[in-house]
């Protein structure tokens, strides 16, 4: 169904076309008519599928369809999102799609001056995109009036719960009108999100795009076993081939991100780091510079990078295997967005094998490790054997996987730690928990590899002791 026939107001259709979209994505086709019809929805879609427009467009449509004088100065839509970058990104999307409308919108997030936000709020904002902490702060100061909110969107609900925002969200929801539409978007649907949905929604329509957990189809995944001590060397080796143009590197720690960034800069590779120790303006500048191509590389931690939407990221590199399997899906989803292709490379040292296995179970696929012919390995990493105690600590000075998230969780949940490193609580288990070989596996050589010269070329395979085909099977 083209945008024109979805029941969207004319200025909005023009705004969409001016943005360059010709047809709705699957999530948009499913969600937009349902939201226009007034339904609550739970939308579970993989990252990069066009979720933002799926909730922004019907909100704008509703605002456009209300008589002019009734529009003024009322906050009619509230979008709650986990990170500052997402709040900014969503607000930009609203401005983009609504460029032919007369709109008052604002992004509210911490790390920036609250007095300025308060001043803007006094003018009356029709749509607010906010992070939970700053929003509550402004509510407590009496600067936000949410009594007229008609649509609430919880974006990246799974992440907000992981980040310990559940109590903040409950407080915010309590002050909203009971009669409202609630749209819940989440990349995954753990039990916590389902429970939240049950308490805040009315007969929601469930929309599931693609298979849960699975990295989107357009991403080619590579696993490079490498001794921990040689990771930086391997990174520089990959860059020396000159085949990676716009690269997002993930580091588990902030210090690690800074270290990688400095090393790349020393090697004349323009890189910038983004993590929670950087100020909001530094983060926005970094993101902007990366978007504009000023930096070829952005090095990020998970918290800072969630939901970041930058066009044309050719490669995601996991310098560290993420401690949480879900993070792997989110990380690599930064490439291959909106049906573009992309490569995701994960460095795996011996002490990270267990975390890799958790990812295999989570996405239900078996990775095929690749060895680079032209790289001088100091020692072999055997990804078929794991060391005792693996997955509990990273190989970097004992920092725990996802430690910053864990600290936050502890603080908000009265000191209760999550049960296990690498496993989120209440995450639905996949089948028997055993990696399942998939039918319809993609061949190692994808159309992406044909199009883009990737470091994978010249890669050789580890031989698998069992002799079984351990190829990178992409699930559907």
Asked if 117 interacts with ligand AMP (CB under 6 A), we say no
Do 332 and 219 meet the contact criterion of CB atoms below 8 Å apart?
yes
> In the bound complex, what is the minimum distance in angstroms from residue 44's beta carbon to ligand AMP?
13
How far apart, in whole angstroms, are the C-alpha atoms of residue 298 and residue 275? 10
> In the bound complex, what is the minimum distance in angstroms from residue 271's beta carbon to ligand AMP?
22
> In the bound complex, what is the minimum distance in angstroms from residue 32's beta carbon to ligand AMP?
10
Residues 389-418 that bind ligand AMP (CB under 6 A): none
Other CB atoms closer than 10 Å to residue 472's CB: what's the count? 19
Residues 314-343 that bind ligand AMP (CB under 6 A): 337-338
How far apart, in whole angstroms, are the C-alpha atoms of residue 111 and residue 154? 21
Q: What is the longest distance spanned by two Cα atoms in the chain?
A: 73
Comparison of 48 and 342: residue with beta carbon closer to ligand AMP: 48
List the x/- string, 426-455, binding to ligand AMP by CB under 6 A: ------------------------------
> In the bound complex, what is the minimum distance in angstroms from residue 12's beta carbon to ligand AMP?
13
Sheet holding 315-318, edge to edge: 219-225, 342-348, 315-318, 247-250, 297-300, 271-274
Q: Are strands 271-274 and 247-250 parallel, antiparallel or unpaired?
A: unpaired
> In the bound complex, what is the minimum distance in angstroms from residue 22's beta carbon to ligand AMP?
7
How far apart, in whole angstroms, are the C-alpha atoms of residue 224 and residue 124? 52
Comparison of 24 and 422: residue with beta carbon closer to ligand AMP: 24
Angle separating helix axes 51-64 and 10-19, nearest 10 degrees: 150
Comparison of 313 and 345: residue with beta carbon closer to ligand AMP: 313
Comparison of 25 and 214: residue with beta carbon closer to ligand AMP: 25
Comparison of 81 and 355: residue with beta carbon closer to ligand AMP: 81
Comparison of 46 and 349: residue with beta carbon closer to ligand AMP: 46
Q: How far is CA 309 from the centre of its chain?
A: 8
Residues 162-221 that bind ligand AMP (CB under 6 A): none
List the x/- string, 262-301, binding to ligand AMP by CB under 6 A: ----------------------------------------
Residues 6-65 that bind ligand AMP (CB under 6 A): 21, 24-25, 28, 48-53
Closest alpha carbon to 297 in 266, 327, 320: 266
How far apart, in whole angstroms, are the C-alpha atoms of residue 253 and residue 245? 24
Burial 132-148 (b: 16+ CB within 10 A, else e): bbbbbbbbeeebbebee
How far apart, in whole angstroms, are the C-alpha atoms of residue 150 and residue 139? 17
How far apart, in whole angstroms, are the C-alpha atoms of residue 95 and residue 100? 9
> In the bound complex, what is the minimum distance in angstroms from residue 110's beta carbon to ligand AMP?
22
Q: Is 95 exposed, middle or buried (0-12, 13-18, 19+ CB in 10 A)?
A: middle
Comparison of 24 and 58: residue with beta carbon closer to ligand AMP: 24
How far apart, in whole angstroms, are the C-alpha atoms of residue 468 and residue 458? 22
Q: Kind and range of the H or E element at 405?
A: helix 403-412
> In the bound complex, what is the minimum distance in angstroms from residue 43's beta carbon to ligand AMP?
11
Comparison of 19 and 147: residue with beta carbon closer to ligand AMP: 19
Residue from 113, 116, 142, 311 touching ligand AMP (CB under 6 A): that is: 311
How far apart, in whole angstroms, are the C-alpha atoms of residue 418 and residue 410? 8
> In the bound complex, what is the minimum distance in angstroms from residue 187's beta carbon to ligand AMP?
9
> In the bound complex, what is the minimum distance in angstroms from residue 394's beta carbon to ligand AMP?
29
Asked if 309 interacts with ligand AMP (CB under 6 A), we say yes
Comparison of 115 and 311: residue with beta carbon closer to ligand AMP: 311
Comparison of 220 and 309: residue with beta carbon closer to ligand AMP: 309
Q: Are strands 181-186 and 151-154 parallel, antiparallel or unpaired?
A: parallel
> In the bound complex, what is the minimum distance in angstroms from residue 24's beta carbon to ligand AMP?
5
List the x/- string, 235-254, binding to ligand AMP by CB under 6 A: --------------------
Phi, psi torsion values for 98, nearest 5 degrees? -100, 25
Comparison of 47 and 448: residue with beta carbon closer to ligand AMP: 47
Q: How far is CA 260 from the centre of its chain?
A: 21
> In the bound complex, what is the minimum distance in angstroms from residue 337's beta carbon to ligand AMP?
5
Asked if 5 interacts with ligand AMP (CB under 6 A), we say no
> In the bound complex, what is the minimum distance in angstroms from residue 152's beta carbon to ligand AMP?
18
Comparison of 11 and 96: residue with beta carbon closer to ligand AMP: 96
* Straight-line distance from the first to the last Cα atom of the chain, in angstroms, rounded to the nearest whole number: 24
Comparison of 287 and 470: residue with beta carbon closer to ligand AMP: 287
Binding-site residue total for ligand AMP (CB under 6 A)?
14
> In the bound complex, what is the minimum distance in angstroms from residue 185's beta carbon to ligand AMP?
9
Q: Is 237 exposed, middle or buried (0-12, 13-18, 19+ CB in 10 A)?
A: middle
Residues in contact with ligand AMP by the rule CB under 6 A: 21, 24-25, 28, 48-53, 309, 311, 337-338
């Amino acid at each position: 169904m083209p945008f024109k026939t979805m029941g969207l107001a004319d200025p909005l259709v023009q705004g969409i076309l001016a943005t360059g979209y010709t047809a709705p994505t699957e999530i948009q086709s499913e969600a937009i008519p349902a939201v226009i019809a007034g339904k609550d929805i739970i939308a579970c879609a993989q990252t990069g599928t066009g979720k933002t427009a799926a909730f922004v467009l019907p909100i704008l449509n509703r605002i456009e369809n209300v008589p002019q004088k009734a529009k003024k100065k009322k906050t009619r839509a509230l979008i709650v999102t986990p990170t500052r970058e997402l709040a900014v990104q969503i607000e930009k999307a609203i401005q983009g799609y609504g460029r032919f409308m007369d709109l008052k919108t604002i992004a509210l997030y911490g790390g920036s001056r609250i007095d300025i936000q308060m001043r803007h709020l006094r003018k009356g904002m029709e749509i607010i995109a906010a992070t939970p902490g700053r929003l509550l702060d402004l509510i407590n100061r009496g600067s936000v009036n949410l009594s007229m909110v008609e649509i609430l969107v919880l974006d990246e609900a799974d992440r907000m719960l992981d980040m310990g925002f559940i109590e903040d969200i409950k407080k915010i929801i309590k002050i909203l009108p009971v009669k409202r539409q609630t749209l819940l978007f989440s990349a995954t649907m753990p039990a916590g999100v389902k429970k939240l949905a049950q308490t805040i929604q009315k007969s929601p329509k469930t929309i599931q795009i693609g298979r849960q957990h699975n990295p989107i189809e357009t991403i080619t995944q590579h696993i490079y076993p490498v001794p921990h001590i040689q990771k930086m060397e391997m990174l520089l080796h990959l860059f020396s081939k000159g085949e990676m143009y716009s690269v997002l590197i993930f580091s588990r720690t902030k210090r690690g991100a800074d270290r990688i960034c400095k090393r790349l800069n020393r090697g004349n590779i323009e890189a910038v780091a983004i993590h929670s120790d950087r100020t909001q303006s530094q983060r926005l500048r970094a993101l902007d510079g990366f978007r504009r191509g000023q930096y070829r590389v952005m090095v990020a931690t998970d918290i800072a990078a969630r939901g970041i939407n930058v066009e044309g990221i050719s490669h995601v590199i996991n310098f560290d295997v993420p401690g949480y399997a879900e993070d792997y899906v989110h990380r690599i989803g930064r490439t291959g967005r909106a049906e573009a292709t992309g490569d995701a490379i994960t460095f795996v040292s011996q002490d990270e094998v267990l975390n890799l296995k958790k990812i295999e179970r989570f996405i239900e696929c078996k990775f095929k490790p690749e060895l680079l012919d032209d790289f001088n390995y100091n020692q072999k990493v055997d990804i078929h054997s794991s060391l005792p105690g693996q997955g509990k600590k990273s190989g970097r000075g004992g920092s725990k996987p996802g430690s910053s998230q864990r600290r936050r969780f502890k603080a908000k949940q009265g000191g209760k730690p999550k049960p296990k490193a690498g496993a989120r609580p209440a995450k639905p288990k996949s089948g028997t928990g055993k990696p399942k070989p998939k039918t319809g596996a993609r061949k190692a050589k994808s159309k992406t590899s044909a199009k883009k010269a990737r470091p994978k070329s010249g890669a050789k395979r580890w031989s698998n002791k069992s002799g079984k085909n351990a190829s990178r099977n992409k699930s559907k």
